[in-house]
Chain A
């Protein structure tokens, strides 16, 4: 076992001391944050652009609804023919002209509305105009039919169906959103971790082959010790990198928003305006409280334990396969044909997780996929926030561990033979033969 710790130590230290690893670790969050800041800054710049929109309302019914906002000024044109108005707006280089024809029938008026502009107008502006007009014209039509719009407004009822299981566990829509978020993050994290660090393990196995040190090493240690040492050492380096990323990322996030005064939450101002309109009736503060309550309601202990177990199990399962691939080939270009079959179940797991767990976390499809070992880590991690019976978790975990032991055995066999094979790119048939050596 002393050998194993030596190998882990070496793997960890060479990874961590590697220059490109250090640069990646430090630069990645900086680049990410810089990118976010630039995007935020640019979109703010874009939204901050002051626009003037002229309104030619021949019907005289709707001009009252256009109220100037911080960035948008509405000019109401009066008693001008359409052609002249268009000309005028073009000359003044305004954003565009909204034309509403005169008429008595509101349906006709609605059909006549047009927006003239030099360039294609932004989608958010058009939607915002549309929703304003829609609301006003609907109201007008209702009034025409003798309906009291105030009464309708007063009678509008907001509903959030309270959900409760037979055991008395209460949930709501917000609860579900929070659960989805947590499950999604956990599943996606595992997915990313496998891809990034699985590749790293594979490369480090290939490096030992190409530098021809492998035979010197395995005359001192057992191949399986070397493989496990590599996997564990690289994973520890990966965890270190992840932790640095998270810490550095959040520190930078705070610093950047403090310095540049960019409020990240205001990033998408017009979109947010629309959202707010949609949720006007709901009490925002109430929602925030519900959100926090929802987080408290999550099966947190279960989630943390399951996260650790499924994360480790799933990661080891895949990384031993990556190590086997590294052992089978001579250089990185030959790895493609072997990586695809590994990536397929992983990608499938993410898609199954996203599409079926949202729809029905305890449905047949998501339940089955949370048992199949190659997809179970991701899918199960996504399901667990919704409350998965313990027996299901245990069976899935047992299957995962069983498969993991099998893959390690299988990978070790390939590894043992593969690391001493040089030159020829192996076929699947060759690898099958190696299993019998």
Chain B
């Protein structure tokens, strides 16, 4: 049982609109799973189904091998994209209330709250009302509400929208730490930078269909083109370029460097290894820069979406 969450061919229609079409995902235990897709692709619908806010038309979802039931609510912590708090309620009361709704006892909730409030340095907000806090402060509290009941599965829908960089970093560190402690994280976003940093698995949803999923590394390997970025110092740039072009497929490259190098992208045929290329290059010129071009999540995202259109 290596998957904490499994969705089997989940479909959901809203009237004539198909929000999800036969989507299956598998979220391994202890992973940070990126649920990617453009706006309106169906990410939030899938998350709402996992949270039992909406019911799927067909298909089912298993948490730890069991079909979803009411008591699973306690095992899930959810930070929705559209999030807020009661404006005129005091911070402490509010968090206690929400924690109790998740099944914590009042005493237990208080104890854990103290811990978290100290950790995030927000202890003196207990008696403040939400409307007195800034947006970033309120978001810290929403984060505490999400993780307070120590859920097995954490779901964040666009968690960094609206956070300033300092808070975003703070939250990111907390997410990583929670993963260390055994939590599994689902991360819905269309911001690729955070995917690159955090996720080890991804699934890409586009127009209600899942079009790609797997380990991020595997996907990158699958999408890489065996292209290397090189910076060379030679007496005659034009001559060198010609020599290389005779043997390999080349294109001018663009990256920052200190020297006035000859910059090239060189694509290797599958038969040759990077060592072959490197020894060939060192025999012709001085190599200042040698780097394999790995496609970024963003590249893969854009390329897959484009491919699925055609």
Contacts and interface: CB of A to CB of B under 8 A. Distances in A.
Interface of A: 3, 6-7, 10, 14, 18, 207-208, 211-213, 215-222, 420, 422, 433, 436-437
Contacts of A7: 101
B47 to A, nearest CB: 9
A211 B87 contact: yes
A163 B274 CA distance: 113
B80 A215 contact: yes
B101 A221 contact: yes
Contacts of A437: 14-15, 54
B97 A6 contact: yes
A7 B52 CA distance: 19
A219 B84 contact: no
B75 to A, nearest CB: 12
A370 to B, nearest CB: 39
22 contacts: A3-B101, A7-B101, A14-B89, A18-B88, A212-B82, A212-B83, A213-B84, A213-B85, A213-B86, A216-B98, A216-B142, A217-B98, A217-B101, A219-B53, A219-B78, A220-B98, A220-B101, A220-B102, A222-B70, A422-B82, A437-B15, A437-B54
Nearest to A432: B15
Contacts of A216: 78-80, 83-85, 98, 142, 145
Contacts, number: 62
Contacts of B89: 14
A222 B55 CA distance: 12
Contact of B85 (A211, A433, A436): A211
A399 B223 CA distance: 66
Contacts of A6: 97, 100-101
Contacts of A211: 84-87
B97 A10 contact: yes
A6 B88 CA distance: 18
- Chain B CB count within 10 A is highest, among A14, A218, A220, for A220
A433 B15 contact: yes
Given A208-B86, A219-B76, 5 more contacts: A213-B84, A215-B83, A217-B98, A219-B80, A437-B54
Contacts of B52: 219
Interface string B67-111: 000100100101110111111110000000110111000000000
Nearest to B102: A220
Interface residues of B, number: 28
Nearest to B146: A216
B21 interface: no
Contacts of A208: 86
Nearest to A19: B88
Interface string B40-61: 0000000010011110000000
Contacts of A436: 15
Contacts of A212: 82-84
Interface in B117-156: 142, 145
A117 B85 CA distance: 69
A6 B100 CA distance: 8
A420 B80 CA distance: 11
B141 to A, nearest CB: 11
A109 B267 CA distance: 127
Contacts of B145: 216
A219 B82 contact: no
B82 A215 contact: yes
A222 B76 CA distance: 15
Nearest to B76: A219
A422 B89 CA distance: 23
B53 A215 contact: yes
Interface in B173-205: none
A422 B84 CA distance: 14
What are the 10 closest A-B residue pairs judged by CB atoms, nearest first? A212-B84, A215-B80, A220-B101, A211-B84, A219-B78, A219-B51, A212-B82, A213-B84, A433-B15, A211-B87
Contacts of A220: 73, 98, 101-102
A7 B100 CA distance: 10
A10 B53 CA distance: 21
Contact of A14 (B76, B80, B86): B86
Contacts of A215: 53, 78, 80, 82-83
